[in-house]
């Protein structure tokens, strides 16, 4: 029997209420969603601050982020990490996130409509230079926090291993394997060979790894992920569930938790996840 950590990415930077009305915009909405999703089984919540009036993504790590932490932490032990700029953070600030992210590479991130076979935003590139990633990791180390390292492509894994050699990272690593679903055709598709390929790249490295499907439903993949030793990421940022009755984040977390328990495992609490991840 293993303890499996669930991370929920609850709103995203570009997802709109017109697609699923359960996307949270305001700090109150995000905090309430984080609390409820934690109660449903998620130990970690990832979120993006949004302008409460327009829903526009806010990258600057300011009051919208800190208000969200305060509201969530007043009622929950959920761990939270933001999709924001980190360079303005200061060590020891009680309103800092629990962990921070590094995306060590660049990738074409276009969206695809399988029904019409149409590609949207063909010029979209998510660009992170090696220098930028190094600066992010140096800042995270300065803050005394741990990074979640997001793998959109195998080249990200190679960069991560170089940073580990350079001493910017310490084991155990926290790795997120992001697989491209039908609506986001990037990187590797989700299957056992893709997971094996990533795990072979990190052979000999102590790590806690999660698997996510961006642009597709990750719930059916949970049995394979868990059976191979992984943890699980789900949530409305990764897939909108408009085709399944407009699911909420707590409902998605409940389904993930039920699958994990049906396999004979336990769902990790936030306190247990902190210990496992050395946060």
Token pair, residue 134, equals 């190094």
φ/ψ (deg, to 5) at 205: -105, 130
Residue with tokens 């660049």: 106
What is the chain's pLDDT, residue by residue, as a tens digit (279 residues)?
A: 899 999 999 999 988 898 999 999 999 999 999 999 999 999 999 999 999 888 899 999 999 999 999 999 999 999 999 999 999 999 999 999 999 999 999 999 999 998 999 998 899 999 999 999 999 999 999 999 999 999 999 999 999 999 999 999 999 999 999 999 999 999 999 999 999 999 999 999 999 999 999 999 999 999 999 999 999 999 999 999 998 999 999 999 999 999 999 999 999 999 999 999 999
Token pair, residue 253, equals 């977390």
- In the chain the domains, ranked by start, together with CATH numbers, are 3-277 (3.20.20.70)
């Amino acid at each position: 029997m293993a303890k499996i950590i669930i991370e929920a990415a609850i709103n995203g930077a570009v997802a709109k209420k017109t697609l699923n009305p359960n996307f949270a915009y305001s700090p109150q909405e995000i905090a309430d969603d984080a609390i409820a999703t934690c109660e449903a089984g998620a130990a970690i919540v990832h979120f993006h601050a949004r302008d409460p009036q327009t829903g526009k993504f806010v990258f600057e790590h300011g009051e919208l982020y800190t208000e969200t932490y305060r509201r969530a932490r007043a009622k929950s032990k959920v761990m939270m990490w933001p999709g924001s700029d980190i360079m303005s953070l200061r060590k020891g600030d009680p309103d800092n996130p629990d962990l921070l992210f590094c995306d060590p590479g660049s990738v074409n991130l276009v969206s695809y409509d399988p029904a019409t076979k149409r590609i949207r935003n063909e010029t979209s590139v998510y660009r992170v230079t090696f220098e930028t990633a190094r600066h992010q990791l140096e800042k995270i180390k300065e803050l005394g926090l741990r990074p979640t390292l997001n793998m959109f492509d195998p080249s990200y894994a190679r960069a991560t291993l170089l940073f580990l050699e350079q001493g910017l990272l310490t084991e155990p690593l926290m790795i997120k394997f992001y697989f491209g679903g039908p609506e986001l055709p990037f990187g590797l598709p989700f299957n056992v060979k893709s997971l094996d390929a990533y795990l072979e790249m990190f052979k000999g490295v102590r790590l806690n790894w999660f698997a996510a499907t961006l642009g597709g439903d990750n719930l059916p993949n949970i049995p394979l992920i868990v059976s191979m030793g992984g943890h699980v990421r789900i949530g409305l940022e990764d897939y909108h569930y408009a085709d399944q009755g407009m699911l909420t984040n707590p409902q998605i977390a409940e389904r993930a938790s039920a699958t994990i328990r049906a396999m004979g495992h336990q769902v990790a609490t936030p306190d247990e996840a902190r210990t496992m991840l050395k946060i």
